[in-house]
Amino acid sequence: MAHSYTPGLAVADRTVVRRRRLLPLPGTLLVKNGDVVTSHQAVARAELPGKVYPINLANQLSIAPDEITDYLVKKQGDAVQKDEILAENKPFIKWFKTEVRSPVAGTIESLSTVTGQVLLREPPRVLNLLAYIDGRVVETIPQQGVVVETACSLVQGIFGIGGEVWGELVLAVTSPDEPLGPAHLAPNMKGKIVVGGSFLPAETMARAKELGIAGLVVGGIHDKDLRALLGYDLGVAITGTEQVGFTLILTEGFGTIPMASKTFRLLSRHAGQKASISGSTQIRAGVIRPEIIIPRSSSAGQAPSEMQRAGIRLGDTVRIIRDPLFGKIGEVSGLPSDLTRIPTESEVRVLEVTFAEGTRAVIPRTNIEVIEGA
């Protein structure tokens, strides 16, 4: 029978994660199965082909395309330096001489007698693929990359920006509902991952950038501050390549929302330890959420964890993810199976949530998320 499945975000103190580290194109592996790796260690390397520069010799020399080979000084496959002569004409009068010089250093990749073009390619660029997390190589994929496994604590955020960084985890606030103000940041936090509480204002972002903080983890921000930070209005949640000076992870969403106390407690326990974080988010099919991975020293007795849930159960801790009770956390106290009419007049499946103070609310099932690892 069909059942309601509401995947939540992982907040797990003990788990094992595997991360596939893949090159964008075939290359060489630098580690082997069983190797212990650290986050900043290169595990594979590839040569990215250089940029291609087309030059239309026929146009520049005012000749027919099929004549270009007669004017070329270099031939296909030759290396050329920047400003080196590629082709020239041989006029009777020297004044009319035209030389075509290479705009870049590289090699002549191809010639075309149909279009009169020469394609130059810059030298390849070496790309080192880093391990990202401290762990052990458990699988190698020839020419493509490796799988690194680590026993760790894992927190998934709801949204992030910026790429992979790592550093010491620092707690800057004392409670999950305390906003992270600029005064909470100090110069000794440079290169570290700073955990705040309910909200990150624009002034704190500016201060973090100034101090060279590697990453920020907070409950929420205002959309207008995100827009100011990025310099544009983010239309589609596909992120990870932004370069704003730090990686930012939101654990709850947009607005001032206290960080879930479970998340805050977990991060507090690991203050002073090294964490690897990634702001990469993709909210489409094949969802990717930002993550905070805090490797632990031992993996004994832990299996790789891809948390699977059968559905929502009575007693589950859930977070409400839509107004008017957005951000509130409670326990499932009722799961009526019949459709219920809500104030919009839609008839939907609902559940009943009881909050810590004893109040209850009826919420559409699609508007809650289970706090995983609870």
Partner 1 sequence: MTRSSSTPPVIDYPLNVIVATDCGSTTTKAILIEKVGDEYRQTYRGEAPTTVEAPFEDVTRGVLNAIAEIEELSKRKILDGEKIITPCRDARTGVDIYISTSSAGGGLQMMVTGVVQNMTGESAQRAALGAGAIVIDVLASNDGRLPHEKIERIRSMRPDMILMSGGTDGGAVTHVAEMAEYIAAAEPRPRFGVTYKLPLIYAGNKDAQPQVRRILGEKTALEVTENIRPVLERENLAPARNKIHDLFLEHVMQQAPGYKKLIEMTGAPIMPTPAAVGLIMETIARREHLNLIGVDIGGATTDVFSVFDGVFNRTVSANLGMSYSISNVLAEAGLANIMRWVPFTIDEQTLRNRIKNKMIRPTTIPQTLDELQIEHAISREALRLALIHHKSLATGLKGIQQERTISDVFEQQTSGRTLIDMLTLNLIVGSGGILSHAPRRIQSMLMMVDAYEPLGCTMLSVDSIFMMPHLGVLSTINEQAATDVFVRDCMIYLGTCIAPIGQGKEGDLCADYEIVFPDGRLVKDQLAFGELRLFALEPGMKANITLRPAKSVNLGTGAGAAMTREVMGGAVGLLLDGRGRPLQLPAEQSARVAALKKWFNAVGLYPQG
Question: Considering the rule CB under 8 A, would residue 305 count as an interface residue with partner 1?
Answer: no
Which span sits near partner 1 by CB under 8 A: 39-47, 175-183, 185-193, 364-372? 364-372
Site for partner 1 in 171-190 (CB under 8 A): none
Given candidates 70, 99, 203, 223, which one binds partner 1 under the rule CB under 8 A? 223
Toward partner 1, which CB reaches closer, 97 or 224?
A: 224
Q: For residue 239, state whether it binds partner 1 (rule: CB under 8 A).
A: no
CA gap 335, 330 in Å, rounded? 14
Which strands sit side by side in the sheet containing 42-48, from one edge to the other?
Answer: 28-29, 42-48, 125-130
Does the footprint of partner 1 cover residue 369 (CB under 8 A)? yes
Query: Segment near partner 1 (CB under 8 A), from 88-96, 206-214, 227-235, 259-267?
Result: 227-235
Quick note: the x/- pattern for partner 1 over 46-85, rule CB under 8 A, is ---x-xxxx----------x--------------------
**Is 339 in contact with 32 (CB distance < 8 Å)?**
no
Question: Is 107 near partner 1 (CB under 8 A)?
Answer: no
Query: What are phi and psi for residue 64, nearest 5 degrees?
Result: -75, 150
Which residue number, 169 or 221, has a Cβ lying nearer to partner 1?
Answer: 221
Report if residue 352 touches partner 1, rule: CB under 8 A.
no
Answer for which of 47, 326, 331, 340 binds partner 1 (CB under 8 A) is: 326
- To partner 1, the closest distance from the beta carbon of 93 in angstroms equals 30
* Cβ distance to partner 1 smaller for residue 53 or 355: 53
Least distance to partner 1 from the beta carbon of 23, Å? 10
**Binder among 100, 180, 321, 370 for partner 1 (CB under 8 A):** 321
Is 201 within 8 Å of 225 (Cβ atoms)? yes
Using DSSP bridges, classify how beta strands 281-282 and 193-195 pair: parallel, antiparallel or unpaired.
unpaired
Which one of the spans 34-42, 225-233, 265-273, 294-302 is the region binding partner 1 (CB under 8 A)? Answer: 225-233
Which stretches of the chain bind partner 1, using CB under 8 A?
1-2, 5, 25-26, 49, 51-54, 65, 109-110, 112, 114-115, 117, 119, 121, 144, 158-159, 222-224, 226, 232-237, 253-255, 281, 283-286, 306, 308, 321-324, 326, 342-346, 348, 363-364, 366-367, 369
